[in-house]
Amino acid sequence: MSLKKHLLFMARYNIWASQEIRRFVKTHEKKYPKILDTPVSGLPFSTVRNVLAHIWAADQVWYSRMKNLSEVQTKDGSIRLSTKELYTYWVDNHENEGKYGDIFKNEDSDKIFTALQESGQAWIDIIETQFKTDEEIIQKEFSYFSTGGVSHKSFFYEVFGSVVPFFFFNKKLKIKRKCTNNNNNKIEVKYQ
């Protein structure tokens, strides 16, 4: 398999995996309306909303660097951030550090998953339109500034390999109803 086909496979897998999480959320959302914000044991960033926002934000950081954008947004404009604001989620000791869920704070699951779908499609579009050969992928280098303002250079395939979050979806989310004396509606979501 060529490198280009492999990267396209990874990007398409990423979209498929997002759709699987969407199906999980949609299946349980009516019964458990707070499913996106329920703490999940074993999951990085503690909730599904935080993880999905982190994935979208990481995609947008790298996409904005490649395209030299000063702002990122969803196609419908409902989620819009300057790249400067977006970077604050990674800056140590910043008030936004690690609070990825705030990006999607007021968004329902449909908007979140639409944003992830658009983001995944943007990677496919870059691979399909900017590269004809594997050699071009290997040689494509770009310059950017880190969130701390330091100048860097990276190769496209290195960035893409670290951004596409296929690792997150190799495990499964499982939901379990937890009955307690105080609240029969409590749920436990596990990442296994």
The pLDDT, as a whole number, for residue 146 is 81
Quote the pTM value.
Answer: 0.80
Which residue stretches of the chain have pLDDT < 50?
167-171, 177-185
> pLDDT by residue (tens digit) across 74-111?
888 888 898 888 888 877 777 887 788 888 888 889 99
Q: 3-191 maps to which CATH number?
A: 1.20.120
- Calpha distance 26→88 (Å, rounded): 31
**For position 174, what pLDDT does the model report?**
55
CA distances from 110 to 12, 30, 70, 106 (A): 19, 13, 26, 12
Domain range list for the chain? 3-191
Residue 179 confidence (pLDDT): 43
- pLDDT, position 164: 72
